[in-house]
Amino acid sequence: MNHIEHIIDGKRTSGAGTSVAAVYNPATGEQVADVVMGGKRDINTAIESAKAAFADWSTTPPAKRARVMFRLRDILEARADEVARTISAEHGKTHDDALGEVTRALEVVEYACGIPDKLKGSFSRDVGPGIDSCDERQPLGVVAGITPFNFPAMVPLWMIPMALACGNTFILKPSERDPSSANLVHDLFAEAGLPDGVLNVVHGGKDAVDALLDHPDVQAISFVGSTPVAEYIYSRGCTAGKRVQALGGAKNHMIILPDADIDQAADALMGAGFGSAGERCMAVSVAVPVGEETADKLIEKLAPQVRALKIGPSTDAEAEMGPVITREAQERIEGLIAAGESEGAEVVVDGRGYRLQGYENGFWVGGTLLDRVTPEMTVYKQEIFGPVLSVLRASSYDEAVGLINDHEYGNGTAIFTRDGDAARDVAAKIQVGMVGINVPIPVPVAYHSFGGWKRSIFGAHGIYGPEAVHFYTRLKTVTSRWPTGIRAGAEFTFPSMG
């Protein structure tokens, strides 16, 4: 059985911890590894390593830092299949879905390759008599990322390339549920020529998280996960004086107007609702057809497709959806389906009790379709994070928009329509961070930035793209005047450039 250790200063180590956590294959329910659970002492050791590495790495020219990213890009592309298999073995998502995760990670690495241009400052000559002014962006120091189980390679690679390209050193605290991908990401960076100590990986739970949040030498924290934890990390990290971006939960809606192509909308909902077993913060979990006729047509199209979902392990090339991450997740999802039923939702397709022959002990939940869901129901209020699609019928376009704007989450939404006026209107009025127009999962490309609104994010900056450059650097402005331009005598008035 595989034993997964920390990686500190380029070396694998069990550190000071004596406890381990079990890692399972979700398709079989069998333990496939254990991971050492570190705490404060291991975090402190990693911080010392990162601090020591910062002096040289931060003064490495951006073009040289970019060369590491160029090499990483080539390595990641060549070894994409291996990375995808590592993801699937512990997460359970299909191989093609895992390859898609790697592709989106590659995009951020490619964006980081252009860091010399993105770190260029500005210069103004003669802002005053003989006075010049320039500004530049400098790295923060040691920064950290706390990443979720659902994208064990992609989310770390949304953070690390930009943080390192900007000149920081990094400590990654990945999810203990599928930790092998994090160690593989470290090894790919090392293969690309990253010096020891610039990137460290420490596995653990809350003790490790709190140690990162409290340590004075950690300058910034980036987090992706649930809203309660995001709020905790933001509050504790800010109290400790850190820069924090904490991305939380979601309840993503898709509005389907009467003029929409129902076949197209149903296909989009299948992929967006059931891909990766719904374990995506950008999964569409609520369909909002406008009008009873639209809703009836949508249910008619969706129900047979949900029943026909091809569910299987990642080793099945024909599988469209795999298991959920843990037994606890399976039980929680099935409990929420039961709550929806008891509160009056119509269970059109029921995924509870799903069992796959030969994989009876796996963490399976079948595709579930709920109709006539209302805003008061638990299944609507809570993020389910599983293969459950709720249909909430709206009587008008305004009602559909109001539902979304009234929800506590504001991550993403989509509208399917042929009406350009409606599409433009929803893009302007909807209170969410990412909008798709006939695009079900509007995850921005790497040269834009990812981030929600309301209780889907805490902090001012989105993740990756231009926002990442601002998050991982701070601005310094230099105003200079040389002796030939200096007049004799003290100046006691507030300085001006007149």
Active-site annotation, residues:
281
What is the gyration radius of the CA atoms in the chain, in angstroms? 25
Residue with tokens 């599988």: 319
**Using CA atoms in the order 262, 264, 267, 270, what is the torsion angle rounded to 10 degrees?**
-70
Contacts made by residues 76-85, CB under 8 angstroms, sequence distance 24+:
76/102, 76/105, 76/106, 76/109, 76/157, 76/188, 77/106, 79/188, 80/106, 82/184, 83/153, 83/181, 83/184, 83/188, 85/314
C-beta of residue 242 within 8 angstroms of C-beta of residue 265: no
C-beta of residue 232 within 8 angstroms of C-beta of residue 457: no
* Residues sharing a CB contact under 8 Å with residue 172, sequence separation 6 or more, in sequence order: 144, 145, 147, 156, 159, 160, 182, 185, 186, 199, 200, 201, 202
3-class DSSP assignment, residue 330: helix
C-beta of residue 247 within 8 angstroms of C-beta of residue 229: no
Helix (H) or strand (E) holding 236: helix 227-239
Helix (H) or strand (E) holding 376: none
